[in-house]
């Protein structure tokens, strides 16, 4: 569960001019509209701004809502909010696993207090929805910056425009910078893949969709099998082998996923074919990885890229580079072009 987020960090003044400060409690309890709930074991005063976060959205200012896309845990819309274009994400209930959908909603807020060029900015979030807006299938809504309608998956597999070395390397550097920033704040994304990397009109990559993320305690390991992180998900083709085995979660799990994503940028192919269970077993038991015996990896530049990829998706998490180490390695590859 994320800690209470300072309201001044969650809601920038330029887009949220007036605030009705409230307190958020357990992610498993939906507050009634206008109510203020206490965080278990603590009492807060309205003036204690550094320990509060706002769950208020001015619904009357939300206009021109149009659908952009949908995923496993919700749907995303483009809207106008206080005269600015924003993205609105509705997190839906999972009829088979309501706990997972609630955990996904609260995991989205792990990065809500952070600001970085290569991370999608969260503006506000709430489980308190007016009756006229409420959908019985939604448990909450999140307002985010609107990056655009393109993601890397679309650019890789659905566009005819070329992805030359300079471009896929630049995208890789953007993702690595975003991961370095997240990991410096002890946040692991746990679902890095092309579909979760948005591309802006300025051709900047931004990491999105924190529904599988975790906030780690500094210096502590978290078991992927523990009750507190039972929602750890991610996409099986990009998931690190230690997570598939239920072992400890660490930032290097994101590095493994980054390696698969970078390989997709280079080759524009799917990492694996065949039955899902066969792939999962082969990744863990036989060290299955995407094929690097391809023309893209023949040149000197390609061989350097191959070496970096193999480090990223090493079987041993401790053998993978950190995001801090990954950035200069990628910058060196770019400088050799």
DSSP states of 42-86: ----TT-GGG-------GGGEEEEEEEEE-SSEEEEEEEETTEEE
119 secondary structure, DSSP code: B
Same domain, 72 and 119: yes
Q: What is the mean pLDDT of residues 308-335?
A: 97
- Indicate whether 9 belongs to any domain: no
Same domain, 71 and 161: no
- Indicate whether 36 belongs to any domain: no
Please name which of 49, 55, 50 lies closest in space to residue 106, comparing C-alpha atoms. 55
71 compared with 39, residue with greater pLDDT: 71
DSSP string of 203-217?
S-EEE---TT-EEPP
Q: What is the mean pLDDT of residues 162-182?
A: 96
- Indicate whether 220 belongs to any domain: no
- Indicate whether 12 belongs to any domain: no
Please name which of 57, 59, 44, 47 lies closest in space to residue 4, comparing C-alpha atoms. 44
Same domain, 110 and 174: no
Same domain, 113 and 242: no
Q: What is the mean pLDDT of residues 24-44?
A: 31
Residues spanned by the domain of 96: 59-145
Same domain, 108 and 251: no
pLDDT at 70 over 50: yes
**CB-neighbour burial class of residue 124 (10 A; exposed 0-12, middle 13-18, buried 19+):** buried
Is 89 assigned to a binding site?
A: yes
Q: Of the residues 191, 203, 254, 275, which is catalytic? A: 191
pLDDT digits (tens, 9 = 90+) for 244-271: 999 999 999 999 999 999 999 999 999 9
Strand, helix or coil for residue 156: helix
What's the total number of domains in the chain?
A: 2
Residue 58 has which token pair?
Answer: 């001015």
Q: Against a cut of 0.75, is the pTM above it?
A: yes
191 catalytically annotated: yes
Same domain, 206 and 93: no
Q: How confident is the model at residue 33 (pLDDT cuts 50, 70, 90)?
A: very low
- Indicate whether 15 belongs to any domain: no
């Amino acid at each position: 569960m994320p800690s209470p987020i300072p309201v001044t960090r969650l809601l920038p003044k330029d887009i949220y001019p007036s605030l009705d400060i409230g307190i958020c409690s357990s992610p498993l309890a939906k507050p009634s509209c206008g109510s203020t709930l206490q965080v278990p074991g603590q009492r807060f005063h309205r003036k204690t701004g550094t320990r509060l976060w706002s769950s208020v959205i001015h619904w009357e200012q939300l206009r021109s809502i149009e659908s952009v896309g949908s995923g496993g845990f919700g749907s995303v819309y483009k809207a106008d909010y206080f005269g600015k274009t924003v993205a609105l994400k509705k997190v839906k209930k999972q009829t088979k696993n309501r706990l997972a959908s609630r955990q996904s909603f609260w995991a989205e807020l792990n990065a809500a207090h952070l600001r970085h060029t290569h991370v999608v900015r969260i503006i506000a979030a709430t489980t308190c929805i007016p009756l006229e807006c409420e959908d019985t299938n939604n448990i909450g809504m999140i307002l985010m910056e609107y990056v655009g309608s393109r993601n890397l998956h679309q650019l890789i597999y659905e566009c005819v425009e070329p992805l030359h070395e300079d471009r896929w390397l630049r995208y890789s550097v953007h993702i690595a910078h975003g991961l370095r920033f997240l990991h410096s704040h002890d946040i692991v994304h746990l679902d890095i893949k092309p579909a979760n990397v948005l591309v802006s009109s300025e051709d900047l990559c931004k990491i999105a969709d924190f529904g599988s993320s975790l906030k780690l305690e500094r210096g502590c390991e978290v078991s992927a099998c523990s009750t507190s992180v039972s929602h750890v998900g991610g996409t099986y083709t990009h998931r690190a082998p230690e997570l598939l085995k239920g072992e400890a979660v660490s930032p290097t799990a994101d590095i493994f996923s980054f390696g698969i994503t970078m390989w997709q940028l280079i080759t524009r192919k799917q990492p694996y074919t065949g039955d899902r269970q066969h792939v999962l077993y082969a990744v863990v038991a036989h060290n299955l990885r995407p094929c690097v015996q391809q023309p893209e990896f023949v040149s000197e530049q390609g061989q350097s890229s191959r070496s970096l990829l193999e480090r990223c998706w090493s079987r041993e998490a401790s053998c993978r580079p950190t995001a801090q180490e990954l950035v200069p390695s990628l910058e060196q590859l770019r400088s050799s072009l």
